[in-house]
Amino acid sequence: MLLIPCPFCAMDRPEAEFRHAGEAHLTRPPDPAAADDAAWADFLYHRANPRGVIAERWRHVHGCGRFINVLRDTVSDRILASYRPGEKRP
């Protein structure tokens, strides 16, 4: 079970308190109607899913309730950083 540093609770918290929420830093186009079908499909469905470091979202649902961003190595499961939504990826 992962131990995820929560930037809002300011402590490491167990994975059981979180829900995974997919890849981070996907920006919803400001004017979806202007996006062509390919771009929209890309936004909806295509994910990087890297082998290595991924920026992903978790929601601390059984904690502070916040969505957070986490940098995790998908090979080693090591967590390199966690930060608040809207903050720049370290």
Partner 1 sequence: MFEIAEAPPATRLMLRGAPEVAARAGAAFGVVPPLEPCRANQAGERAALWLGPDEWLLLAPSDADATKLAAALEGLVHSLVDVSDGTEALLLHGAGAALALSAGCPLDLHPDAFPPGMATRTVLGRIGITLWRRGAADWWVEVARSQAAYARAFLAEAGRGW
Partner 2 sequence: MIGSPRHEGMMQRLLVGRMFQGRLLPESMRTADGGRVERRTDIRFSFDGADYLGCGGDTLASALLANGVHLVGRSMKYHRPRGIVAAGAEEPNALVAVVRGGGRTTPNLRATQVELFEGLEAHSQNRWPSLNTDLGALVALAAPLLPAGFYYKTMMGPRGLGLWHRVFEPLVRRAAGLGRAPRVADPDRYARYYAHCDVLVAGAGPAGIAAALAAGRGGARTILCDEQAEPGGALLSEIAALIDGIPAREWLAQSLAELAAMPHVRVMPRTTAFGCYPHNMVGLAERVTDHLAAPSPDQPRERLWRVRARRIVLATGAIERPLVFPGNDRPGVMLAGAAREYLLRWGVKVGSRVVIATACDTAYRAALDLATAGVAVKLVVDLRAAADGPLPQAARAAGIAVLAGGRVLGTHLRGKRLDSVLLGRGDDGRRRWFDCDALLMCNGWTPAVHLHAQARGALRWEGERGVFLPGEPAPGVESIGACNGATDLAMALAQGAASGGGAVPVVEGEVPALPGPAHVDAAVAGDAFVDFQNDVRADDVRQAVAEGFHAIEHVKRYTAGGLGTDQGKTGNMNLLALAAAARGTPIPELGTTTFRPPYTPVSFGTLAGPARGEMFDPVRTTPLHAQAVAEGAVFEDVGQWKRARYFPQAGEDMHAAVRREVATTRAAAGLFDASTLGKIEVVGPDAAIFLDRLYLNAIATLKPGRCRYGVMLSEAGFVMDDGVMARLAPDRFHVTTTTSGAAHVLAHMEDYRQTEWPELRVWLTSTTEHWAVLAVQGPRARDVLAPLVAGDISAAALPHMAVRDLKVAGIPARMMRVSFSGEQGFEVNAPARHAPALWDALRPRIAAAGGTVYGTEAMHVLRAEKGYIIVGQETDGTVTPGDLGMAIGRGKGDFIGRRSLARPDMLAADRRQLVGLLSDDPALVLEEGAQIVAQSAPPPGTKALGHVTSSYFSPALGRSIALALLAGGRERTGERLFVPLARGSIGVAVAAPVFLDPQGGRLHV
Which one of 19, 46, 62, 89 is in contact with partner 1 (CB under 8 A)? 62
Which one of 5, 53, 54, 63 is in contact with partner 1 (CB under 8 A)? 63
Going residue by residue from 2 to 31, which x/- string records binding to partner 1, judged by CB under 8 A? ------xxxx-xx-xx--------------
Coil/strand/helix, residue 64? coil
Coil/strand/helix, residue 16? helix
b/e code 48-77 from CB counts within 10 Å (16+ = b): eeeeebbbbbbbbeebeeebbbbbbeeeee
Q: Which does 17 bind (CB under 5 to 8 A by kind): partner 2, partner 1, none?
A: partner 1
Residues 6+ apart with CB under 8 A from 38: none
Instruction: Report in angstroms how near the CB of residue 60 gets to partner 1 at its nearest.
Output: 8
Footprint on this chain of partner 1 (rule: CB under 8 A)? 1, 8-11, 13-14, 16-17, 61-66
